Amino acid sequence: MPVVTAVAETPLFPVFARQWYAEREIDWKRSNRQKVQDILRVHLNPRFKGRRIGDISKADILAFRNYLARESREGRGLSNARINGVLNVLRQILVEAADRFKFVSSFRKIKPLRVGKTVVDPFTMEEVASIITGVPEALRPLYIVAFFTGMRTSELLGLQWDGVDFERCQILVRTT
């Protein structure tokens, strides 16, 4: 049977979130660190700033999820994918706190929101040709590689000659 810690013994949410972030940031890429910092700064810390981490209930989480869906961002709400991203960070923090302070995480049985499939509307070959001919000549090879490989911008910008294998007609993504 788990030991239940009194709420007064658990730290305030922002205090524990800061500790959790400091312990986890070494595992993440710079882009993910920035994303998590933004979620903490914009969404989680303002919402739970005066709350002890062990005092955040399932009802609090569901109310927060509804707030994100309906009222945040000047009344427009966030997309389901963005809400899931915010709640995923909250879930990780609460699960870690529950493990450390021996209480049951209030995040149990809260499922992610459904995210619709993204509709992809690719350029036609005529549009691709028009774009390629419209860019400065020095940039054409970059655009050709981008259109016909599907490489991400960071991968294209990190591409070096040792990643190009002309014999096998391959481009090896080694750096970003």
Q: What is the pLDDT along the chain (176 residues), one digit of tens a residue?
A: 454 444 558 999 999 999 999 999 999 999 999 999 999 999 999 999 999 999 999 999 999 999 999 876 666 889 999 999 999 999 999 999 999 999 999 998 899 999 988 888 889 999 999 999 999 999 999 999 999 998 999 999 999 999 999 999 999 988 88
Q: What is the token pair recorded at 81?
A: 């994918």
The answer to whether 107 touches 64, Cβ cutoff 8 Å, is no
Write the DSSP assignment of 42-94 as a string of letters: IIIHHHHTTSBGGG--HHHHHHHHHHHHHTTTTTT---HHHHHHHHHHHHHHH
Beta strand segments in the chain, E: 164-165, 170-171
Residue 38 · residue 7 · CB < 8 Å: no
7-101 is a CATH 2.40.128.20 domain: no
Give the number of C-alpha atoms closer than 13 A to the C-alpha of residue 172, restricted to the C-beta side: 9
Instruction: Output the six-digit token pair for 173.
Output: 């993504």
Residue 170, H or E segment? strand 170-171
CB atoms within 10 A of CB 71: 12
Given this model, what pLDDT does residue 1 score? 47
Residues 21/121, Cβ–Cβ less than 8 Å: no
How much is the pLDDT for 6? 47
Angle between helices 13-24 and 30-39 (to 10 degrees): 180
**Closest by alpha carbon to 157, among 148, 170, 145, 169?**
145
Residue 15 in tokens = 């205090």
State pTM to two decimals.
Answer: 0.69
Instruction: Domain ranges for the chain, please list them.
Output: 7-101, 125-171
Hey, what are 30's tokens? 């710079």
List the beta bridge partners of residue 170. 165
DSSP class of 52: B
